Chains A and B, each alone.
Chain A
């Protein structure tokens, strides 16, 4: 049966960079899964000091402060237990870099078989036909998927992406969410009977 295949490695990082670069232009609303952990600082960068980001943070007592606006070139100093970016003024050149003090990351591999086409191995998991097609990986407990890394290595694929390794840097893969939902470019780049492995990373809480 396809599904979770193996742990490749587990690595400890201290500190860890979370880099967010919102797309769009001008003033852009941002939808993201809040970054949780022990966050040391959040810095805003852009090509103009008139740009800014709107950030919601929780302090170490769990008290949430919403809507702090931070201009480019400045840093919101923690510690925080989570942060969420809700809007930026200055996309696409604005970057928000959060620094988490310590992170444990596991690299895992999911196996995809030809016989498991849609909603497999369970309903709502694996390949989900649609426009665009999506692929749902399992999430264990409070683990969050790393949204900046994904590799799909196909040995058989009649879709437009072909065989070999396709990564997030390629147009055929749009994103992977913190909940483990992979969104492909459209409904034709990966056939639902493709054969291969999916390498992904998860962050322990």
Chain B
């Protein structure tokens, strides 16, 4: 039996992929619902800059460092994949990405 509620078209849900130094800003009144980070090593980290409209200070840019593979639940009005690095032995050049998801009206 089909599951109800699954997005029916590609327009139900949009996604941006950010690399180091890239950012995404939601349109007025809109927001990103979710972000997911990725990398080629579990010791990689990504420094995210986000604005959380449903928080103590909605206009403040908050800095959150996350390990690759981590997801952060929104809402966000702004997401920047600011920088990336590696911790521990064997640290080397990083390859990390941040996926930012937005629900379409």
Q: Which residues of A contact B (CB under 8 A)?
A: 13-19, 41, 43, 45-50, 72-73, 93, 95, 97, 99, 103, 146-149, 168-169, 201
Question: What separation, in Å, do the CA atoms of A168 and B64 have in the docked complex?
Answer: 19
On chain B, the residues within 8 Å of A49 by CB distance are 42-43, 67
On chain A, the residues within 8 Å of B62 by CB distance are 19
| Interface assignment of B79: CB less than 8 Å from any CB of chain A | no
Partner of A48, one of B52, B55, B87: B87
| Interface assignment of B56: CB less than 8 Å from any CB of chain A | yes
B72 near A47 (CB under 8 angstroms)? no
A48 near B45 (CB under 8 angstroms)? yes
> Contacts A16-B55, A47-B67, A48-B88 hold; do A97 and B72 have CB atoms under 8 A apart?
yes
Whole-angstrom distance from the CB of B97 to the nearest CB of chain A? 16
3 closest cross-chain pairs (CB), A and B? A148-B56, A47-B45, A17-B55
Partner of B85, one of A13, A17, A47: A47
Question: What separation, in Å, do the CA atoms of A39 and B77 have in the docked complex?
Answer: 22
Whole-angstrom distance from the CB of B68 to the nearest CB of chain A? 9
B54 near A17 (CB under 8 angstroms)? yes
Whole-angstrom distance from the CB of B81 to the nearest CB of chain A? 14
Which parts of B11-47 form the interface with A (CB within 8 Å)?
A: 42-43, 45, 47
Partner of B67, one of A19, A45, A149: A45
Question: What separation, in Å, do the CA atoms of A66 and B87 have in the docked complex?
Answer: 30
| Interface assignment of B9: CB less than 8 Å from any CB of chain A | no
Partner of B54, one of A13, A50, A147: A13
B67 near A46 (CB under 8 angstroms)? yes
